Structure 1
Amino acid sequence: MSEELYANLAIFVLSLLVGFEVMSKIPSTLQTPMMSGANAIHGVVVVGAFAIAAEANNWLLYVLTFFAALFAAINVAGGYTVTDRMLGMFDRKPAKKEEDKK
């Protein structure tokens, strides 16, 4: 195996360990917003799909990169949407005044 493969594998394993440590420290009440916010990290997948598309030289790679970018973009948008909805659940409703009750 090449040195580049070892370096990439080491980065992958370290990112798994750091991700596990970060996620294990999050309280359960914030788990869902944290996970949906973490889905936004899939923007990196979009950039990766663009990088692969730049190197593509046949129709199969173009199709695969299109679907990779599409699914990553859907995941990014979904992550932000779910985060917005979850955080909206914590908003306090304005208190009604005495005059509104009459």
Structure 2
Amino acid sequence: MTGIYLLFILILSIFVGFEIIRKVPATLHTPLMSGANAISGITLIGALSLAGGENQHIATWLGFCAVMLATVNVVGGYLVTDRMLAMFKKR
């Protein structure tokens, strides 16, 4: 029964997230990207603590995967933010 509740929360969060992001004006995308990168940085720190802890092997591997994915997210987000901000610079 708990799995059904978790699936319901997942589907609801996907729907709400999509509706919120869809209605963001274009002028706010750069600040929101920077905020999302900061949150991903916090996720990266949590993943590092999970991967480096003395846990079960599956937790260490999941932590390693979380570190890799969060790193890609943070670096990619900052690259996109830098590229968007470069559009506003005078040549």
- For normalisation by structure 2, the TM-score amounts to 0.62
1:66 aligns with 2:64: yes
- In structure 2, C-alpha distance between the alignment counterparts of 1:55 and 1:34, rounded to whole Å: 37
- How many residue pairs are counted as aligned between the two chains? 88
Structure exhibiting the larger radius of gyration computed from Cα positions: 1
1:39 is aligned to: 36
Superposition deviation, residue 55 in structure 1: 4.2
Identity rate of aligned residues, in percent?
36
Larger relative contact order, structure 1 or 2 (CA cutoff 8 Å, min sep 6): 1
1:57 is aligned to: 56
Unaligned runs of 5+ in 2: 1-20
- In structure 1, C-alpha distance between the alignment counterparts of 2:87 and 2:48, rounded to whole Å: 36
- In structure 1, C-alpha distance between the alignment counterparts of 2:71 and 2:59, rounded to whole Å: 18
- In structure 2, C-alpha distance between the alignment counterparts of 1:43 and 1:33, rounded to whole Å: 17
Q: Say which SS state the counterpart of residue 74 (structure 1) adopts.
A: helix
- In structure 1, C-alpha distance between the alignment counterparts of 2:85 and 2:63, rounded to whole Å: 33
1:89 aligns with 2:87: yes
Cα RMSD of the aligned pairs, angstroms, is 3.5
Deviations 1:33-88 (A, max 9, x none): 123x3231201111111222214222x11111011011101110011101100001
Structure 1 ranges of 4+ moved more than 4 A: none
The AA in structure 2 aligned to 1:76 is: V
